[in-house]
Each structure stands twice: as C-alpha cells, then as structure tokens.
C-alpha cells in the first residue's frame, strides 16, 4: 500500500484527486499546470469520469459549480491569470455554500506576467478570491507528497465546511518530480449533502442552489453565519510545521517551494552556529497564528521568505502584533532565491 512512486507534482494532484473519488474535472489550458489536465484527460474516460476541456476558465469554474451543486467531488486547475478569471465563479461557490477544489499552480504576474514559478496570488487566495465577503480554505504544499496529501484533505475540508478549497502551489512544485506515497482512497459522502440538487424524485420539496438574497437583512445574517463558521475554521484547521524552533532566536516564515529553499538556509546557518528556526504555514488561510504568536515572545526577529513582494508579511505582523521586526527575503517575477540569499538575510 505505502509504495513510493516517482511523480511530478501536478500529476500527484491529479492522481490524488482521483483516489479521493473526484470523477469530474474541468479545465482550460494554461502553463504551468497542463499536466493536471493531461493526466485527467487520459484517466477520466477509463474510470467513468468526466474530463472536459472548457471553452474558458470562466466556463470551467461554472461547470464545477454545476457538479458541486449535485453534491459530488469536482475540481478545476489553473494558473494565476486563469484563477483571476475564475474568481466570479469562486465567489458564487462560496455564496451558495458549495464545496469544490480549485488548484492554482502559480506563475508570475501581474497581467500575463510570466510562466515561471511565483507565489504572487497569496493576497488573492487568502483574502477571498472574488467579490463579496468570503474566504476559501487555502493549502500551500511544499513537496510532491503534500501535493497529494493536501489534495485529499482539501476535498474533505471543503465538504466539512461547505465551501471551496484552494490548493496554492507554484510552477516549481508542479513540475518537479519526487517520490510520493499516494493517499488511501476516499470519497465524498461523509458529510450531509441533503442540500444537493439531485432531482426531487417527487419525494421532497425542491432544493435550490442560490446566492441571491434581495433582503439585506437576510444577506447580512447569512454572511455573519458564514463568518462564524470561519471562526471555527481558524480554531480547528490551521496547519503548520515547526523546524528547529525550540531555541531559535530568528524565525524564518515561509510556505511552499520557498520553505524548501529556506530549510537549506536554516541548516547552513545552524552549522555556522546561528540559532535560527522556521515556521512553515501549510494552511495560509486559516493562517497559523498561534505558533507565530508564541514565537514572537522568544525570537528577536522574523524573516518572511516568499516569491512575491512580501504579501504574507502583513499576516505575520498581525499574528505577532508587530512585537518583533519582520525582514523580507523576496524574489518575484518568476525568480527563485538561492539558499545563500536566504542565509544572507538570516545573517544580516
């Protein structure tokens, strides 16, 4: 069962989704996530599933909305500019309380940007990717193994809380190959889905999937209820990894591929006698506030390492109540920092 296979990150997502019982995939070609669609195009017809290359990112997310309305596991994948196009649909999923998985294998922006790895959709993903008051559950894998594990977990959480999940990866993770132990098969159905549209069968009153509330009082009430759910999520669902934090005087904070690079820098710094550790958010929404809050009383400073202009810095400062300085080690536009660059900021 626990056999290791060598896979690309994008393929691991696709296979993990299939193992998680997802039988409906809708997408539109965009680099650097095309392996997901290619994998689904090959596999889905053989397992009675749906692979459909939609006419646009917008159509793809609305096809997702259609399947999600029927209470089945469904996903789409894209990369940054394509995710921007999906935002309207993601907002509708959130407004109608529908679970679904959206994979974002990020590339550089803004605009058409580039096709090299990036984490510059951090704000978009963590603050609510679309119009209106809402969040999506947001997972940031740092290895091919986590690409697989978090895919299964993201489906599960989406159903538990009836909301969209986003897997926030990047071009490097999508393209790189690593050994991976694929997750055990699972499926939807653990949580109540009596809300789904499956036909009344003339046995019940009709179900309605909807996000329109013309009464402001009703809409306000629903938004407040949704945010109560979010408070529960903030308590129960943050995931993170702490590395060499016990005696750390400096705390690197990094997720995704930059956490891998930072780990090398932390190891090198330790060899040189510098007491540095790392907190790696695995969920970026909900943000792992607690470990950072705790660290704020012990360390002298934080270092935010990201592939963007430092979008996570605000979240770190909020978590630590600005008690300690937060330095940036950032590359953007598709550039990656070397471990030496991170080490230089650690040694500053």
Output 66 or 333, the one with its CB closest to another protein: 66
**Residues paired with residue 174 on neighbouring β-strands, in sequence order:** none
**Window 178-197: contact mask with another protein (x via CB under 8 A):** -------------------x
Positive or negative CA dihedral for 319, 320, 326, 329?
negative
Q: How many whole angstroms separate alpha carbon 177 and alpha carbon 168?
A: 18
Output 24 or 226, the one with its CB closest to another protein: 24
- Does the protein bind another protein through residue 58 (CB under 8 A)? yes
Residues 79-98 interacting with another protein (rule: CB under 8 A): 88-89, 92, 96
- Does the protein bind another protein through residue 45 (CB under 8 A)? no
Nearest to 30 by CA among 100, 69, 77: 77
For 215-239, give the DSSP string. Answer: SHHHHHHHHHHHHHHHHHHHHH---
- Does the protein bind another protein through residue 209 (CB under 8 A)? yes
Output 62 or 311, the one with its CB closest to another protein: 62
Angle of helix 144-161 versus helix 9-19 axis, rounded to 10 = 40
- Does the protein bind another protein through residue 232 (CB under 8 A)? no
For residue 212, give the 3-state DSSP assignment.
coil
Output 20 or 68, the one with its CB closest to another protein: 68
Output 197 or 318, the one with its CB closest to another protein: 197
Q: CB under 8 Å, gap of 24 or more: what pairs does 288-294 form? A: 288/238, 288/239, 288/240, 288/319, 289/234, 289/238, 289/318, 289/319, 290/238, 291/240, 291/242, 291/245, 292/251, 292/253, 292/316, 292/319, 292/320, 293/319, 293/320, 293/321
Whole-angstrom CA distances from 36 to 45, 146, 160, 190, 235 are: 15, 15, 25, 26, 32
Shortest spacing between CB 228 and another protein, in angstroms: 24
Query: Quick one: which of 65, 122, 161, 287 contacts another protein (CB under 8 A)?
Result: 65
CB burial of 283-303 (b: ≥16 within 10 Å; e: otherwise) equals bbbbbbbebbeebbeebeebb
Tokens encoding 113: 């940007």
- Does the protein bind another protein through residue 158 (CB under 8 A)? no
**Window 93-132: contact mask with another protein (x via CB under 8 A):** ---x------------------------------------
With contact defined as beta carbons under 8 Å apart, do 324 and 301 qualify?
A: yes
- Does the protein bind another protein through residue 63 (CB under 8 A)? yes
- Does the protein bind another protein through residue 211 (CB under 8 A)? yes
Q: What's the residue count for the chain?
A: 348
- Does the protein bind another protein through residue 207 (CB under 8 A)? yes
Query: Quick one: which of 34, 70, 193, 264 contacts another protein (CB under 8 A)?
Result: 70
- How many of the chain's residues bind another protein (CB under 8 A)? 39
Output 2 or 201, the one with its CB closest to another protein: 201
Shortest spacing between CB 167 and another protein, in angstroms: 20
Nearest to 118 by CA among 109, 105, 107: 107
Output 89 or 174, the one with its CB closest to another protein: 89
Positive or negative CA dihedral for 231, 13, 95, 69?
negative
Output 206 or 271, the one with its CB closest to another protein: 206
Output 50 or 175, the one with its CB closest to another protein: 50
Query: Quick one: which of 22, 36, 64, 136 contacts another protein (CB under 8 A)?
Result: 64
Shortest spacing between CB 185 and another protein, in angstroms: 20
- Binding residues for another protein, rule: CB under 8 A, are 24, 26, 50, 52, 54-56, 58-60, 62-70, 72, 74, 88-89, 92, 96, 197-203, 206-212
């Amino acid at each position: 069962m626990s056999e290791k296979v060598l896979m690309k990150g994008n393929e691991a997502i696709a296979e993990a989704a299939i193992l998680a019982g997802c039988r409906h995939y809708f997408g539109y070609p965009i680099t650097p996530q095309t392996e997901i669609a290619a994998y689904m195009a090959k596999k889905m017809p053989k397992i009675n599933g749906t692979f459909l290359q939609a006419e646009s990112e917008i159509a793809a997310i609305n096809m997702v909305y259609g399947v999600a309305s029927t209470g089945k596991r469904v996903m789409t994948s894209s990369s940054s500019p394509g995710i921007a196009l999906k935002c309207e649909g993601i907002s509708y999923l959130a407004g109608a309380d529908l679970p679904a998985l959206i994979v974002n294998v990020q590339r550089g922006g803004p605009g058409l940007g580039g096709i090299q790895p990036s984490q510059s959709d951090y704000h978009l993903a963590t603050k609510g990717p679309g119009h209106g008051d809402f969040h999506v559950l947001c997972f940031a894998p740092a290895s091919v193994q986590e690409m697989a594990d978090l895919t299964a977990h993201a489906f599960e959480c989406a159903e538990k809380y009836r909301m969209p999940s986003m897997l926030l990866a990047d071009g490097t993770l999508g393209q790189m190959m690593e050994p991976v132990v694929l997750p055990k098969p699972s499926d939807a159905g653990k949580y109540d889905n009596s809300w789904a549209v499956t036909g009344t069968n003339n046995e019940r009153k009709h179900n309605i999937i909807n996000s329109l509330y013309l009464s402001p009082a009703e809409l306000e009430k629903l938004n407040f209820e949704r945010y109560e759910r979010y408070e529960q999520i903030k308590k129960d669902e943050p995931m993170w990894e702490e590395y060499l934090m016990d005696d750390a005087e400096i705390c690197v904070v990094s997720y995704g591929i930059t956490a891998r690079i930072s780990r090398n820098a932390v190891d090198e710094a330790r060899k040189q006698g510098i007491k540095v550790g790392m907190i790696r958010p695995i969920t970026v929404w909900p943000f792992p506030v607690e470990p950072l809050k705790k660290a704020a009383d012990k360390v002298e400073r934080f270092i935010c390492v990201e592939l963007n202009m430092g979008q996570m810095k605000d979240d770190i400062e909020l978590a630590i109540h600005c008690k300690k300085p937060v330095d940036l080690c950032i590359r953007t536009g598709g550039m990656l920092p070397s471990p030496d660059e991170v080490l230089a900021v650690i040694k500053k």
